Amino acid sequence: MAAQSLPEERLFGVETSLTGRFWALQNPDPLRVRQLAAHLGQDDLLARLLALRDVGANEVESFLSPTLRSEFPDPSSFADMDKAAGLVLDALLDGRNVTVFADYDVDGGTSSAILARYFRAWGRDLGLYVPDRLAEGYGPSPEAFRHLKATGADLVITVDCGAAALSALEEANAIDLPIVVIDHHLMQGAIPEAAALVNPNRPDDASGCGHLAAAGVVFVFVAALNRLARQRKITPPGGELPNPIEWLDLAALGTLCDMAPLRGVNRAFVRQGLKILQRGENTGIRALADVAGLGEVSSVYHATFMLGPRLNAGGRVGDPWLAAKLLASDDREEAIGLAERLHALNDERKAIEQDILEAATAHAQRQLEANPQRGVLIAGGEGWHPGVIGIVAGRLKDRFHLPSIVIGWGQGLGPVAKGSARSVTGVNIGDAIAAAAREGVILSGGGHAMAGGLSCQPDQIEALDSWMCAHMHQFAEERAAAKGLSIDTLIAPGAATTDLVETVAKLGPFGAGATEPVFGVRDVRCMGARRIGANHIKFTAEDETGKLDCVAWRMADEPLGEAAIAGARLHLVGRLKINTWNGRSSVQFEVMDGAEVR
């Protein structure tokens, strides 16, 4: 039974914060909190936080201590899983040429690396193909499959793509190239013909695992391969079947970087995978961590925000094959070279992104000045690289709390303009883009509720802007609600201890679908504010209970940073962290928002 929550209340009466948001304090069902507190045998804080995450008393252990043993799905519950395992194991044993066709993001790279390592354990090589974002776009194409057939592929396994590649799969059938699809993206309409199509989100799949990233589906697939090998009583030349547990670091990395919801087996993938990431046993990941200056990969932050952008950089602005090659490599020298290239490409990506973000932000501000009630932001520019427009769209969405579309075109960037969209809760941007395409406003496009993509001619952008603004009128309430910032509970500066942070950490891992607790701090004085780095602020929040070290990322030139520097009295909202510096650990409050005390 789902938890019953009481209506949220405005925290500290804040209707418009320094970032333009209203604050809402969540109110869990008191009965659920009492039941959880009795079950836990401790104070109400952890019980309150669990209740707000809809965790029942009978789910506490699996949520706080997820294990593969208890959460791992039966591979046979996936449609076509057993069929796919048979086809691939037969091809592997027969020595046929098998190629993995991987998407160019982290989920695709980790998925292909798991398969490459599985094949290697059997003494076999697995071919690799990664499409170029600009020249080929997303997923398989008829041309790519014809190329693979011509170069000797006997079987192709697509990972993190393929389920919607209707024309490519039709071509593969026509040229007698068997395709095993392993994907996780939503599917609509008829199921395309393939040798096997494994996707927990295909309409007839009964596994209940639609929340898995592709890396998670591939991890289940190699378990199915092992199970089939045991049934046939066959083993690799070394005499022992591969141990997929060794690749949980890859499953965790793909799950985190693809923002798959952290529930069920995904929590186990990440919780257990982080332990393996910390050991640094994957040569490629270790090399990338070294190049990035990480002593070890020990947290969700390290995986998602330190490794993830570097692994994605090749697919965004450089060689899309780099991440997959790096993650599959066991050669330290080769891995360092690949890691250095990805690190350099990430620096290039950040510079490109910053230039586009500044221009897109200025454009969005002009749009809002001209029409404060518009329900969508659309910015486009010649030379705006398609590899970073999705990131920029997300930045605009986060700053202005509105659905945002960023479009780029120009010489060397593909034959037509490409757009990427990010949305707010309650506004299905994928459906809106698909409707615009059906009505001929743009060439093509679609997506899902929170993100989408499109193709258009540059001279169609003005019409798209008008069409989207008219379409978004119906979502006025949803757009207003998107400006809300939900707070889990309140805390005084003097109560922010390392013990409290460790209690909160029990709820981890945090990520999509498992949000990190957000705390509200009432009426503090900002003291000793100083600028750090390019655009960050550090200060101390003080009241009669004590002091709390604070940091506000990317806020130095924003109203919040200016208020902190002025020593204002503020209400604050943020997250509690442990900050370790020179071997010493202390509590730090990462400020998300602030409001003036009135």
Q: Give me 494's structure tokens.
A: 């003097």
Quick one: three-class SS letters along 408-431? EECCCCCCCEEEEEECCCCCCHHH
For residue 3, the 8-state DSSP code is P
Evaluate if residue 228 carries a pLDDT over 80. yes
What span, in angstroms and rounded, lies between the C-alpha atoms of 293 and 299? 15
Helix, strand and coil content of the chain, in percent to the nearest 5, comes to 45, 20, 35
Amino acid 295: pLDDT? 84
> The CATH number of 6-29+488-596 is which of 2.40.50.460, 3.40.50.12780, 3.30.1050.10, 3.40.1190.20?
2.40.50.460
Q: Give me 478's structure tokens.
A: 């949803």
pTM: 0.91
Q: Tell me the one-letter amino acid at 269.
A: F
Evaluate if residue 381 carries a pLDDT over 80. yes
Please give the CATH architecture assigned to the domain spanning 71-344.
Answer: Alpha-Beta Complex (3.90)
Q: CATH topology for 371-480?
A: Diaminopimelate Epimerase; Chain A, domain 1 (3.10.310)
Alpha helices in 439-475 (DSSP H): 461-471
Amino acid 6: pLDDT? 57
Evaluate if residue 52 carries a pLDDT over 90. yes
What is the pLDDT averaged over residues 306-335?
Answer: 95
Amino acid 418: pLDDT? 94
Evaluate if residue 4 carries a pLDDT over 60. no
Q: How many residues in the chain? A: 598
Peptide bond into 236 cis (omega under 30): no
% of the chain exceeding 90 in pLDDT? 85
> DSSP readout, 214-262?
HHHHHHHHHHHHHHHHHHHT---TTSS---GGGGHHHHHHHHHHTT---
Report the relative pairing of strands 417-422 and 404-409 from DSSP bridges.
Answer: antiparallel
Report which of residues 582 and 317 the model is more confident about: 317
Report which of residues 287 and 4 the model is more confident about: 287
What span, in angstroms and rounded, lies between the C-alpha atoms of 468 and 406? 13
| Nearest to 178, CA basis, from 221, 224, 145 | 145
> DSSP readout, 28-87?
--HHHHHHHHHHHTS-HHHHHHHHHTT--GGGHHHHHS--HHHHPPPGGGSTTHHHHHHH
What is the pLDDT averaged over residues 365-370?
Answer: 96
Q: Looking at 489-568, which runs of residues are DSSP E strands?
A: 489-490, 519-532, 536-543, 546-552
Name the band, by pLDDT with cuts 50, 70 and 90, for residue 3. very low
What span, in angstroms and rounded, lies between the C-alpha atoms of 518 and 575? 5
- How distant is the alpha carbon of residue 317 from its chain centre? 19
Evaluate if residue 575 carries a pLDDT over 70. yes
Alpha helices in 331-482 (DSSP H): 332-370, 389-400, 429-438, 461-471, 476-481
Amino acid 1: pLDDT? 37
Bridge partners for 593 per DSSP: 573
Q: Where are the domains of the chain?
A: 6-29+488-596, 71-344, 371-480
Name the band, by pLDDT with cuts 50, 70 and 90, for residue 7. low
Q: Tell me the one-letter amino acid at 6.
A: L
The neighbour count for residue 3, using CB atoms within 10 Å, is 17
Evaluate if residue 198 carries a pLDDT over 90. yes
SS3 at position 326: helix
The whole-chain average pLDDT of the chain stands at: 94
| Nearest to 248, CA basis, from 291, 227, 279 | 279
End-to-end CA separation in angstroms for the chain: 41
Name the band, by pLDDT with cuts 50, 70 and 90, for residue 2. very low
Q: Give me 98's structure tokens.
A: 């098998």
What span, in angstroms and rounded, lies between the C-alpha atoms of 20 and 579? 28
Q: What letters, b where the CB count within 10 A reaches 16 and e where it falls short, cover 98-125?
A: bbbbbbbbbbbbbbbbbbbbbbebbebe
Amino acid 327: pLDDT? 98
Cα Rg of the chain, angstroms: 25
Residues contacting residue 347 through CB under 8 Å, at least 6 positions apart = none
Evaluate if residue 10 carries a pLDDT over 70. yes
| Nearest to 202, CA basis, from 72, 257, 192 | 192
> DSSP readout, 78-127?
STTHHHHHHHHHHHHHHT--EEEEE-SSHHHHHHHHHHHHHHHHTT---E
What span, in angstroms and rounded, lies between the C-alpha atoms of 106 and 252? 11
User: Which strands, in side-by-side order, build the sheet including 196-198?
Assistant: 127-129, 98-102, 155-159, 179-182, 196-198
What is the pLDDT averaged over residues 84-113?
Answer: 97
Bridge partners for 596 per DSSP: 570
What span, in angstroms and rounded, lies between the C-alpha atoms of 373 and 243? 56
What is the pLDDT averaged over residues 264-285?
Answer: 96
Evaluate if residue 472 carries a pLDDT over 70. yes
pLDDT digits (tens, 9 = 90+) for 508-567: 999 888 899 999 999 999 999 999 998 999 999 999 999 999 999 999 999 999 999 999
